[in-house]
Amino acid sequence: MLRLIVIVLLLANAGYFAWSQGHLAEWGLAPAPQGEPQRLQQQIRPEAVRLAGEPDTPPARPAPVPEASADAPPASVPVAAAEPQRPAGECLQAGVFDEEQANALRRAAAALPQGSWSLQRTAIPGRWMVYMGKFADADALAKKRAELRELGISFDRPSNASLEPGLSLGRFSTEEAAQRGLGNLVAKGVRTARVVQERPDTPGYQLRLPSVDDALRPQLEVLRPAMAGKTLKPC
């Protein structure tokens, strides 16, 4: 009995396999088709179907960059702007000179090329001084010098002959500065000093050589004796 059941199951499995693979289709025994090819035949322009968010046209490819040919002219390179030409000579000046010194310079500079120099008018500022004097005689002057040395205060002679015999305790470019200097000296024990104008504002001159080149430079030696110890400096 058991053998019969096994044989029946084997036959049933073999029949199912033959049915599922379509081997029994000639006798009308076959499973229903699952591909539904008739739906594919009913589609209209399937190539026009696009997914949502997909662009209608593919992105354009960038145009290829042409390779440089050996015969092509080289690309232009920007050229830096040319530097402005510098003057051939150096500008030099000296001063200030007073009227007498300026006259001496005019005579010396006459040997230089015409137009290579000029004397430009300017002003020599006045000078103020903390002053002690005039003293009655040389003994009084010597006594005052000794007193100032004991106080540790420096002094010298005034450059204005009209203030001799006397002593200068300091020179200043303005009267206000001289008054402050006097106050400092009074605090140190000076009693008889006062502020005076040693030199008033006077006209002056400045020597100017606008273009000193290698050819002109050696000729400037003729100016040295008339320069009153002053030197030429760049403008």
Query: Would you state the pLDDT for residue 126?
Result: 87
Query: Would you state the pLDDT for residue 216?
Result: 94
Q: Could you please state the CATH topology (level 3) that the domain comprising 90-124+202-234 is classified under.
A: Alpha-Beta Plaits (3.30.70)
The one-digit pLDDT tens for each residue of the chain (235 residues) are 677 887 877 777 777 777 677 666 666 666 665 555 555 555 555 565 565 555 555 555 555 555 544 455 554 445 445 555 555 689 999 988 989 999 999 999 999 999 999 999 988 888 999 999 999 999 999 999 999 999 999 999 998 888 999 999 999 989 999 999 999 999 999 999 999 999 888 889 999 999 999 999 999 999 999 998 999 999 9
Query: Would you state the pLDDT for residue 203?
Result: 87
Got the DSSP string for 173-193? SSHHHHHHHHHHHHHTT--S-
DSSP letter assigned to residue 171: E
For residue 167, give the nearest of 184, 191, 148 by alpha carbon: 148
For residue 129, give the nearest of 195, 75, 173, 45 by alpha carbon: 195
Structure-block tokens of residue 14: 């073999």
Q: Could you please state the CATH topology (level 3) that the domain comprising 127-199 is classified under.
A: Alpha-Beta Plaits (3.30.70)
Residue type, 7: I
Query: Would you state the pLDDT for residue 80?
Result: 47
Q: Is the dihedral of CA 223, 224, 229, 234 positive or negative?
A: positive
Query: Would you state the pLDDT for residue 159?
Result: 85
Structure-block tokens of residue 81: 């702007």
Q: Is the pTM of this model over 0.75?
A: no
Q: How far apart are CA 222 and CA 209, in angstroms?
A: 14
Domain ranges of the chain: 90-124+202-234, 127-199
Query: Would you state the pLDDT for residue 77?
Result: 46
Residues 6 or more apart in contact with residue 219 via CB below 8 angstroms: 111, 112, 113
Fold equal for 90-124+202-234 and 127-199 = yes
Q: How far apart are CA 195 and CA 180, in angstroms?
A: 10
